[in-house]
Structure 1
Amino acid sequence: MQEIVTQKTEAHQQLFDEMMNRFNISAKELAETAGISEVMLSRFRRGKADLGMSKFLAVFAAIPDEAKEWYVSRLLGVNPKASLRSQIIAASPQEKAEVFNALAIWVVQSRENKDSNCLPQAV
């Protein structure tokens, strides 16, 4: 189990390092903005140390939105700009069932509220 966690952590750190390089993010400025030391950030990027959740979130909040989108999409294997339709088509049967269930709940609640304006006409 520890090996799986370690592999995921290493991938997370490698992607973070790649993101910083790809988007020309200054380690010095990022560390300063996030309130951590540049040494700590460097050790994280090289896989020598983990930041912990609160420090990682502080660092993550300090990076540009475009870099965040790139990082998360690579980390999760999801394209955030992909259409909802293409994401549903690519989803597993269980995920599709969850989507249909959520839509059914939304339709029922909309009817209970008698708010027909929020139910668009099917094409």
Structure 2
Amino acid sequence: MIVKALVSYDGFNYAGWQKQENALGIQQVIEEALYKITKENVDVVASGRTDAGVHAFGQVFHFETSKNVPAIQYERALNALLPKDIRILKTEEMPDDFHARFSAVGKRYDYFCSYDIK
């Protein structure tokens, strides 16, 4: 089963989306939570990646699992295991040909910069 998820996160405590050998990425945190749920090594595929400290308000990712669990239950289960700065907004089952990156029809990036004037 292919499950699509919509995630929101505060990237302040993370080294970006992608899992890394010497830093903590959002992908790693989600994959570890999925392992606790499925007892499978699940690869999470995102529609795109973010850099260290960058936030996301609606990033799409997908994963494949052999577990016969309704997709909506992954939303609740993941949110119970994930830290409060990573929230799953929605999960749904998708057709076998769905791919978070290649099925995307658009992406939007908003840049907000702030600084102190002294």
Instruction: Decide which structure has the larger Cα Rg and report it.
Output: 1
Looking at both structures, which has the greater relative contact order when contacts are Cα pairs under 8 Å and sequence separation is at least 6? Answer: 2
Higher helix share: 1
> Considering the TM-score relative to the shorter chain, is it more than 0.5?
no
Higher strand share: 2
Q: TM-score, normalised by structure 2?
A: 0.30
